[in-house]
Structure 1
């Protein structure tokens, strides 16, 4: 997709617009992640540049070509003039069509409109991007493999047969599924992660219920409509048809900045720890599920391999499992060999 064809009226010649690879990559990112700010695109596409002026010229060319649109990000309540807010970029239908025709990313049914880009979900979507950017940034620093296209937002997983009145009743919708490859000691360890970004827009009890839905996902076995034609494959949990191992669930807490933010997030972690331990399904699956809680600030500063995740479902209220990294290893887990003979299995 190094060149894009813009069709003029039939009595005029076809005009060809050539775009740099950065512009092409920006189209792909906006297609997959829906909306992004200029700063987010800069962090992912031109991190070595001192500023974003070069990127902004590319985005301006895409906008002139009718492939992207922009609007001002929403502000906080009473958050000052709109011109102080960053631009949020998204694809037009023509831009989405161009990406799909190139067939270099997985096609998605969802299309962004100016109305959806400016909706109340905007801040949440941008915060999920920040989670992905933190993983990409630290993967670059550590020599691991996590690219700007390594996470997919809003992935639905069915958790029951039949059809309820609401799509959400039949599915758990992950804020993102992120793929990460840890590289070290001659081994590549493939990790799949469920990401839940909580901006304190729901109660702790509601968040705990969503965590419980992942327990339902772990156990859900679709019922074959014809019992006589059931096979061994049809009696496996549904997630095994998608993932080689059940992904770890990472809950990332964020909120409006303020002097009490750290305490509020610590209290929310405490509430979530208590509520999930009291859930019968999660208690039963405590050894099968790996769930950790951290904050967006910790993830940005220390990265996913810092000791920033509080494991849920482990330890006792008196003696908890200490904070650990995103691998969420158990205290009794075997220490991996220092020089593995072959790449480790996907996790």
Structure 2
């Protein structure tokens, strides 16, 4: 298991949240139709037991105020995140193209499978997927393998790419956050070390609301 995964698991244990080794799914490959598939380093499943003091909402009753990813459970809320660990092995512009790939994935509807006998009113495939994942997982970019200047260059590239996906409403509904690996390991994943790509001067936690 990677150091990034251990950071999330240990932080969850410290907070009395639920995130175990099987909740970190490495090399998760997503379908994307005609486009190249998105392959995040991991898909994270995380159950938060209680509200952070900064949330201003009581999560213990299982209700959703927009911070969760759609599956509320008694005593907490489910969160999901695609994890992208960038080790500076590709240029900033190529890194930024991943944002468009995730935007296409969010709007992707797989072609229905042809069957000899169809139900009179079959459920759309996209609706079936949305029932399982009502909201698209948030997207976390963790930047490693470069210094502070390189981190700023890569964040700038992601911010520039955000203009291309803004018309589709992707950034309105899906938090996209970034942080240097050094800050994540030093302070922990739930510390306010994450920078929204639309507002890189702002610092927040990765569980922040979808509508800041």
Residue 89 of structure 2, aligned match among 182, 201, 205: 201
- Residue by residue over 1:148-187, the C-alpha shift from the partner in whole angstroms, topping out at 9 and shown as x without a partner, is 23201111111115xxxxxxx5411121001111112633
TM superposition shift of 1:225 = 4.6
Residue 214 of structure 1, aligned match among 102, 106, 113: 102
- Residue by residue over 1:238-258, the C-alpha shift from the partner in whole angstroms, topping out at 9 and shown as x without a partner, is 8526524211111110005xx
Structure 1's 298 and 238: CA in aligned 2 closer, same or farther, altered over 3 A? Answer: farther
TM superposition shift of 1:219 = 0.2
Distance in 2 of aligned mates of 1:137 and 1:309:
18
The 4+ residue runs of structure 1 with deviation greater than 6 A are: none
TM superposition shift of 1:232 = 5.4
Question: Is the CA contact 2:138–2:175 (under 8 Å) kept in the aligned structure 1?
Answer: yes
Question: Is the CA contact 2:17–2:49 (under 8 Å) kept in the aligned structure 1?
Answer: yes
Do residues 240 (structure 1) and 106 (structure 2) align? no
Do residues 183 (structure 1) and 63 (structure 2) align? no
Distance in 1 of aligned mates of 2:103 and 2:211:
22
How many corresponding residue pairs?
187
Gaps of 5+ in 2: 52-59, 61-74
Distance in 1 of aligned mates of 2:154 and 2:187:
20
Do residues 274 (structure 1) and 160 (structure 2) align? yes
Question: Is the CA contact 2:143–2:180 (under 8 Å) kept in the aligned structure 1?
Answer: yes
Alignment correspondent of 1:249? 139
- Residue by residue over 1:180-221, the C-alpha shift from the partner in whole angstroms, topping out at 9 and shown as x without a partner, is 111126331111110011001111111111121111110001
Gaps of 5+ in 1: 1-35, 37-128, 162-168, 333-347
Question: Is the CA contact 2:172–2:210 (under 8 Å) kept in the aligned structure 1?
Answer: no
TM superposition shift of 1:290 = 1.5
TM superposition shift of 1:226 = 4.1
Query: SS where residue 44 of structure 2 aligns?
Result: strand
Alignment correspondent of 1:322? 202
Query: SS where residue 28 of structure 2 aligns?
Result: strand
Residue 11 of structure 2, aligned match among 131, 138, 150: 138
Query: SS where residue 240 of structure 1 aligns?
Result: helix
TM superposition shift of 1:274 = 1.8
Q: What root-mean-square deviation, in Å, do the aligned CA atoms of Structure 1 and Structure 2 show? A: 2.6
Query: SS where residue 222 of structure 1 aligns?
Result: coil
Residue 192 of structure 2, aligned match among 307, 313, 334: 307
Matches within 5 A, 1:2-151: 129-151=2-24
Q: Which has the larger radius of gyration?
A: 1
Distance in 2 of aligned mates of 1:148 and 1:235:
30
Distance in 2 of aligned mates of 1:137 and 1:236:
35
Distance in 2 of aligned mates of 1:251 and 1:307:
14
Distance in 1 of aligned mates of 2:166 and 2:95:
14
- Residue by residue over 1:105-126, the C-alpha shift from the partner in whole angstroms, topping out at 9 and shown as x without a partner, is xxxxxxxxxxxxxxxxxxxxxx
